[in-house]
Amino acid sequence: MSVDCFAKYHPLVNFLYFVLVIGFSMILNHPVAQGISFICACAYAVQIEGKKAVLFTLKWCLPIMLLTAFMNPAFSHEGVTILLYFPTGNPLTLESILYGLSSGVMLATVMLWFVNFNRVITSDKFIYLFGRIIPALSLVLSMTLRFIPKFKAQMNIVVDAQRSIGRDISEGSLWKRMKIAVTVLSIMVTWALENAIETADSMKSRGYGLKGRTAFSIYRFDDRDNYALLYLGFCGCYLVTGMIVSAFGFRYFPSIRYIGLNMVTISFQFVYLILCIMPTVLNAVEERKWKIIHSNM
Amino acid sequence: MRRRFSFLWAFIILISLCACQGNFGSVNLQDAIQIPEGGIIEENVIRQLKSENAIGMFYGQSNGLKYEWTIFGSDIAETKDIKLEVTIDEVKDREINVTLSQDGSFGFYGLLSIHLTEKWAENSATAYQNEQPVISVSLTGGKNKTILNCNLDGSLKSFVIKPDALSEEDSVSKETEDDTEESTKDQYLTDPIPEGKPKPVEPENQEVDKRKTYTCTFSIECSTILNNLEQLDPDKLEMVPSGGVILPQTKVTFYEGESVFDVLQRVCKEHGIHMESSWTPIYNSAYIEGIHNLYEFDCGSLSGWMYHVNGWYPNYGCSRYQLKDGDVVEWRYTCDLGNDVGRGMN
């Protein structure tokens, strides 16, 4: 686990990066591009979260991938390569299996990118980016995103407090435990509502969203952000061009057809790779620099 | 700072706009080409068709009758200049004389479609040379016009197309269809069955007796797509066979009590033809979604598969039609709710 240097860039750079990467991951269905995106998402997640990211991939992404790969051919029977027949008489086709696999990888990739997104674009960055343009919505969004971890933490406190007065949720008959659980839930709902009202009142009394109100922010847009923005802009434009000339063309039904790999299409795939791998490389370079400085001290 | 923001917004909007258009086009259908004076199509056009694996459409007119050639690039074996001009005249009532200007073979088969201005009630026609039948002609078209389709390789220089005799059953069904009135439907929403036609047998009541075997004739074709190629999903182009015939007329053995659906499923399995169906409880029958990867709605919103037994399009599902010995079953793809394959909708 290393220091996330990419997260220290201007929020605009972070946000644009995720918009591009998540957008392309959802649109491009060429297996090579999907592989690139999946591997880069994994690499970045492991780099910033370490073991936790590996666990998340194994626990959530892998089952989802396998599930869609199995589910798709059960419902879609299109495709020219018939492998065998279901008891209903409909064929199981190679194309539908591969398509299911492809959608599964896409789903897992996008999930991983969103994990990274949440880690990098913290709620203060989000409010900084959108507080002015869409004040109400951005506050609601960041509150909602913050709600689940906060709710979990508060629930632990409440459960502990209840235990100390003799209402242990892990002991007693099923009926008794359920009664305690309902009490805890009722406390939590009250707390959540009250908390929301308090937050809203507090933000209102601070003049959130009013005209002329300034906000403290520690983000500076300096040269490296400029270069990063240019880089992202170049990659984005290049990849959109690639999509228009259908360099990422890949069709599953009725038969698999794709644009073969040649110098041009490889160049588009390469640009996609250097776009996706950008934060991982930045972090690695930064780490190396730090180690060199450290050893010189 | 502010300027940078506005630049970025413009950029993001640009990207999202472009992304909407980036779809994957396979083979582009060329525009239909008018046959030039003299009728010569030059070799380079033919070579282009072959190399792009495209479908060429060439149209012309003769004595007030429109005609068009559909040529599949994948069928072309040798490339040379060909003459596609055709002289068509109606010598007698419902007798069409066709003369090709080509000398010798094209080197491949092309589909000639002649658009008649009237409606022929028959389901098929035959081309004759010196009173001898030479090739069969399939009929498609809408409510008030008929299109004659014949597969030609240019070696047949001149022939006469006459409709086949209207079978008795056809005329019966026409009459009864005309005077059906609003009346009660059965529990599976089926309108009354015309006089003399087999009543549906519910799949749960069908008893298959494997000791008794009979034969029937099965065929699967989609020639209507060739008249509506501009509506076809471009990805499905490669699935359309050049003559429109997926399964030529084939003798099939079946057991007593089997339905059209049972036999279709078996025939497709045996011939390795892809077929997808889904059970539809309200009609108590299977519904054929697609055969040979050609699905409903692939060629316009009115397209799909229909079946035809002994000259009649049953008004109930294929799981409820119990086959008899010697039945002739045709599965036809329609692009117009059956109007173009000779089903009279009232």
Torsion on CA atoms B114, B71, B108, B239, rounded to nearest 10: -110
Share of chain B above pLDDT 70, in %: 85
Residues B128 and B202 in one domain: no
Of B18, B24, B295, the CB nearest to A240: B18
Note whether B159 and B198 are same-domain residues. no
Rounded to an integer, the average pLDDT of B300-322 is 93
Whether A80 contacts chain B with CB within 8 A: yes
Residue B325 lies in a domain: yes
Same domain, B200 and B140: no
Q: Distance between CA atoms of B278 and A25, rounded to whole angstroms? A: 33
Cα separation, B212 vs B257, in Å, equals 9
What is the mean pLDDT of the segment spanning B314-318? 93
HEC sequence for chain B: CHHHHHHHHHHHHHHHHHHHHCCCCCCCCCCCEECCCCCEECHHHHHHHHHHCCEEEEEEEECCEEEEEEEEHHHCCCCCCEECCEEEEEEECCEEEEEECCCCCCCCCEEEEEECCCCCCCCEEEEEECCEEEEEEEEECCCCCCEEEEEECCCCCEEEEEECCCCHHHHHHHHHHHCCCCCCCCCCCCCCCCCCCCCCCCHHHCCCEEEEEEEEEEEEECHHHHHCHHHECHHHHHHCCCCCEEEEEEEEEEEECCEHHHHHHHHHHHHCCCEEEEEEHHHCEEEEEEECCEECCEEECCCEEEEEECCECCCCCCCCCECCCCCEEEEEEECCCCHHHCCCCC
Residue B311 domain-assigned? yes
Q: How far apart are CA A96 and CA A102, in angstroms?
A: 10
Q: Render A56-114 in DSSP notation, one character per residue.
A: HIIIIIHHHHHHHHHHHHHH----S-EEEE-TTSPEEEHHHHHHHHHHHHHHHHHHHHH
Smallest CA–CA distance from B27 into chain A, residue: A257
In order, the DSSP letters of A235-270 are: HHHHHHHHHHTTTT-EE-SSS-EEPPP-HHHHHHHH
Is B3 inside any structural domain? no
**More confident of the two residues B56 and A162:** A162
Q: Is A236–B15 a contact, with Cβ atoms under 8 angstroms apart? A: yes
For residue B7, pLDDT beyond 60: no
Tell me the range of A140-154, B16-30, B249-263 where mean pLDDT is highest.
B249-263
> Which residue in the block uniquely carries the two structure tokens 């009346």?
B183
Asked if B1's CB is within 8 angstroms of A89's CB, the reply is: no
Q: Does the pLDDT at position B176 exceed 50? A: no
How far B227 CA sits from the closest chain A CA (Å)? 21
In this structure, the answer to whether residues B210 and B159 fall within a common structural domain is no
Whether B37 maps to a domain, the answer reads yes
Residue B61 banded pLDDT, cuts 50, 70, 90: confident
Alpha-carbon dihedral B115, B118, B122, B127, rounded to 10 degrees: -50
Q: Residue A202 and residue B134: Cα distance in Å, rounded?
A: 91
Q: pLDDT tens, A179-224?
A: 999 999 999 999 999 998 998 899 889 888 788 877 778 899 999 9
Residue-level pLDDT at A16: 96
- B2 has a pLDDT exceeding 50: no
**A interface test, pick of B233, B293, B295, B299 with most A CB neighbours within 10 Å:** B293
B108 vs B188: CA distance, rounded Å: 48
- Within-domain flag for B285: yes
Dig out the tokens for B133 from the structure. 């039948």
- Is residue B315 domain-shared with residue B271, that is, in the same domain? yes
Contact A89 B277 (CB under 8 A): yes
With contacts defined as CB-CB under 8 Å, which chain B residues touch A217?
Answer: none
Q: Does A31 touch chain B (CB under 8 A)?
A: no
Is the same domain home to B150 and B202?
no
Domain match, B197 and B332 both: yes
Neighbours of A170 (CB within 10 A): 8
B158 and B206 belong to one structural domain: no
The answer to which of A54-58, B132-136, B279-283 has the lowest mean pLDDT is B132-136
Q: Within chain B, what is the greatest distance between any pair of CA atoms? A: 87
* Token pair of A29 as six digits: 């269905």
Q: Are residues B155 and B196 in the same domain?
A: no
Determine the pLDDT at residue A2: 60
The closest alpha carbon to A278, from A242, A244, A247, A234, belongs to A234
Backbone angles phi, psi at B288, to 5 degrees: -85, 110
Please give the structure tokens belonging to residue B76. 């072309």
- Report yes or no: A12 at the B interface, CB cutoff 8 Å: yes
CATH number where B291 lies: 2.170.130.30
Choice between B298 and B109, residue whose per-residue pLDDT is larger: B298
Tally the residues of chain B.
346
**pLDDT tier at B9, thresholds 50, 70, 90:** low
Give dist(CA B61, CA B59) in Å, integer. 7
N-term to C-term CA, chain B: 69
Other residues' Cβ atoms within 10 Å of the Cβ of residue B121: 13
The last residue of one of the domains, among B163, B178, B202, is: B163
What angle is formed at CA B39 by the lines to CA B36 and CA B42, rounded to 5 degrees?
Answer: 85
Chain B interface, best mutation among A22, A80, A232, A235, by max B CB count within 10 A: A80
Is pLDDT at B115 greater than 60 in this prediction?
Answer: yes
The proportion of chain B whose per-residue pLDDT surpasses 90, expressed as a percent, equals 33
- Give me the interface pTM, i.e. the ipTM: 0.71
Domains in chain B: how many in total?
2
Beta-bridge partner residues of B286: B279
Handedness of CA B294, B297, B298, B301 (dihedral sign): positive
In a domain, B74, yes or no: yes
Is B147 in the same domain as B201? no
Largest CA distance in chain A: 74
| Beta strands at B147-152 and B245-256: parallel, antiparallel or unpaired | unpaired
Domain of B298, in residue numbers: 191-341
Q: For chain B, say whether A89 makes contact (Cβ under 8 Å).
A: yes
> What is the chain A residue with the closest CA to B291?
A78
pTM, two decimal places? 0.70
Which tokens sit at B33?
Answer: 């080409």
Whole-number average pLDDT of chain B: 81
In this prediction, the residues of chain A whose per-residue pLDDT falls under 70 are 1-2
B26 domain-assigned: no
Is B199 found in the same domain as B107?
no
B124 in the same domain as B42 = yes
Q: How far is B262 from chain A (nearest CA, A)?
A: 10
Label residue B289 by pLDDT band (50, 70, 90): very high
User: Is the Cβ pair A246, B24 closer than 8 Å?
Assistant: yes
A112-126, B41-55, B225-239: range with lowest mean pLDDT: B41-55
Q: Can you tell me the distance from the alpha carbon of A116 to that of B317, in angstroms, rounded to the nearest whole number?
A: 53
Nearest chain A residue to B287 by CA distance is A90
Pick from B12, B23, B269: CB nearest A85: B269
A249–B contact, CB cutoff 8 A: yes
